Amino acid sequence: MKNGEYGPVQRGQTLSAVARNVAPDGVNVDQMMLALKQANPDAFYRDNINALKAGAVLRVPSRDDALAMKVAEAAAAVRRQNSDWSGGAARRPTSVAAAATRANASTSPTSHASTGDRLALVPAGDSGQGAGSGGGKHGSVASLRQDLQRSQETLSSLQQQSADLNSRLKDLKDINSKNQRLLSLKDNEIAALQAKLAAARKAAGLPPPKPLPG
């Protein structure tokens, strides 16, 4: 981050990853993601936190701006964004920012809204074991959760970038089609003018004009 800005955003980089990098002390990932979105509305496709544009340079909001929304409110807003994103894309995997919300629940005791959505991965046959070996398993689960989150975020970002490129390609095809029609009209106009010129020269007793090269 330099001069209050972050970027340009790299291809495949996600908003939650940016938020973790720039969040001041006391600000969780949900709060920072929403503050970044509010401060940079043009840096997102479909007005959604899951679709950060590659190449965008983000203005980093202040700590006070990020804390303007309470932790529980931020968690609820992130879930709404996830729901909107999932509802707008068929066969899309689990929303990419959901893992960030669940991770915040484990570190923010006041985030009751997020606690209900925490992801618990329990290996088969381990439910009866005591707490003595839980620390290592919890660390492994957290690592798997982060890997899954990054993979899902990267996939969603690439899918959105692909959709944007397809849209641009369609625009270029439309422009090319219009240019072809204009060229066809010009050819017809030239042919009509040549016919008129030939008729005029014939009426004046002059030899026909030489054909244009090409």
Spell out the per-residue pLDDT of the chain, length 214, in tens.
667 889 789 998 889 999 998 899 899 999 999 999 999 999 998 889 998 899 999 999 999 999 998 999 999 999 998 888 887 653 343 444 544 544 444 444 443 333 333 333 334 444 444 434 444 555 677 777 767 777 777 787 787 778 777 888 888 888 988 888 888 877 888 888 888 888 887 888 877 766 655 5
Task: Produce one character per residue of 93-124: b if its CB has 16 or more CB atoms within 10 Å, e if not.
Answer: eebbbbbbbbbbbeebeebebbbebebeeeee
pTM (two decimals): 0.43
